Amino acid sequence: MSRVAVLLAAAGGGWLVRHRCSLAVRRWHPGNGVRRMAGELSVRTAGSGDRVVILLHGLTASGDFFGAAYDSLADHAQLVTCDLLGFGRSLSEHGSDYTLEAHLDALDRMAHELQLDGCKLTVAGHSLGAVLALHWAARRTDVQSVVCFSAPLYAGADEADERIAAIGVMERIFAPQGAVSRAVCGWMCRHRAIAQWIAVALQPQWPVAIARMAVRHSWASYLGALNGVIRHGGWETSLRALDAAHVPVLLADGAGDPVGVPARASELAARYRNVTAVTHPTARHELPITHPNWCVHRLTSPRHDKPVGVDVAGHSTSTP
């Protein structure tokens, strides 16, 4: 056997070991439901009733991130899993506006087309989706609660730049926002079928379907979400509005998350009456896919109340 063949076999074996040992791979299965377009957004829906749970994914992901473990939410509510504007099946090769307002407007149109206006909404998001959940809930009167998984609550662009590259391989490539990252993204857009399998090769820790969806965005949608939502800051204005409206907010993080700012959630829980902070003792940034049952339990809790002025940041090991 040639040296090249030996190296390829070793690389393939290493990839397979990492893939099969990954919690995300072992615990994720495709979610069920009916897929349709609602405004500009592709959504997957299941369940019925005037109580609605809406799930928003993170940067370079899609609604597929919330897999079959979340289907149980449809037993007692409508479940709506979104592909955010410019990502996943909501990708538009010719779109150009991916500002915060554009994302929020698209969510409003989605809710209107699905006839969710006036329903009892629980809005939950992961990473990018968590920040959007805060902003979107603050502009609506029908949101009953907000759940934020691994929310990148940065004070501003400088703090964001220090931590954003820790999210993953794709972010380390694109975070610099320079000519190289733009050229790579442009090549991916022109050769998306090949790029999907390159993403699979670079990210053995993800289920194959999730890794392939990671390239379904454009440079404009990636940069718009990164700058307009994550690096933009401004989330505390929305948090104050939710506090004034007595809308409970749960900040759920993994203790091993390198992306979030340490102690930010517990500090906010100490300052705001409506904020509760909980921490999974072993999870990292990809908390919703590696520990879905723990996350579903947080979504099915009736409220996130706490005694005024008490930091209730805690740990749970009872649910994997």
CB 294 within 8 A of CB 319: yes
Q: Which of 222, 98, 89 is nearest to 168 (CA)?
A: 222
Ranges of H-type helices in the chain: 3-21, 23-27, 100-113, 128-138, 157-163, 169-174, 179-190, 192-202, 208-213, 219-225, 235-244, 264-271, 287-290, 292-300
Distance CA 36, CA 44 (A): 7
| Amino acid in the structure at residue 109 | R
Give which of 40, 43, 125, 115 is closest to 80, Cα–Cα. 43
pLDDT on residue 311:
33
The model carries a pTM of 0.90
Residue 51: other Cβ atoms inside 10 A: 15
Q: Which residue has the higher pLDDT, 17 or 253?
A: 253
Domain boundaries in the chain?
Answer: 3-300
% pLDDT > 70, the chain:
86
Instruction: Say what the pLDDT of residue 1 is.
Output: 55
Instruction: Assess if CATH 3.40.50.920 describes domain 3-300.
Output: no
Residue 314 has pLDDT above 50, yes or no: no
User: Beta-carbon neighbour count of residue 181 at 10 Å?
Assistant: 18
d(CA 318, CA 82): 29
Compute and round to an integer the Cα radius of gyration of the chain.
19
Residue 258, classed as helix, strand or coil, is coil
Beta carbons within 10 angstroms of residue 83's beta carbon: 27
Instruction: Give me the sheet containing 34-38, strands edge to edge.
Output: 34-38, 41-46, 78-83, 51-56, 120-126, 143-149, 249-254, 275-280
Phi, psi of 146 (to 5 degrees): -130, 135
What is the rounded CA–CA span in Å between residue 198 and residue 180?
Answer: 17
Q: Express each pLDDT in 26-40 by its tens digit.
A: 999 999 999 999 999
> pLDDT grade, residue 167 (50/70/90)?
low
Length of the chain as a residue count: 320
Query: Read out DSSP for 34-55?
Result: EEEEETTEEEEEE--SSEEEEE
Residues 240-266: tens digit of each pLDDT:
999 999 999 999 999 999 999 989 999
Contacts of 72 (CB under 8 A, 6+ apart): 296
At residue 2, the pLDDT reads 75
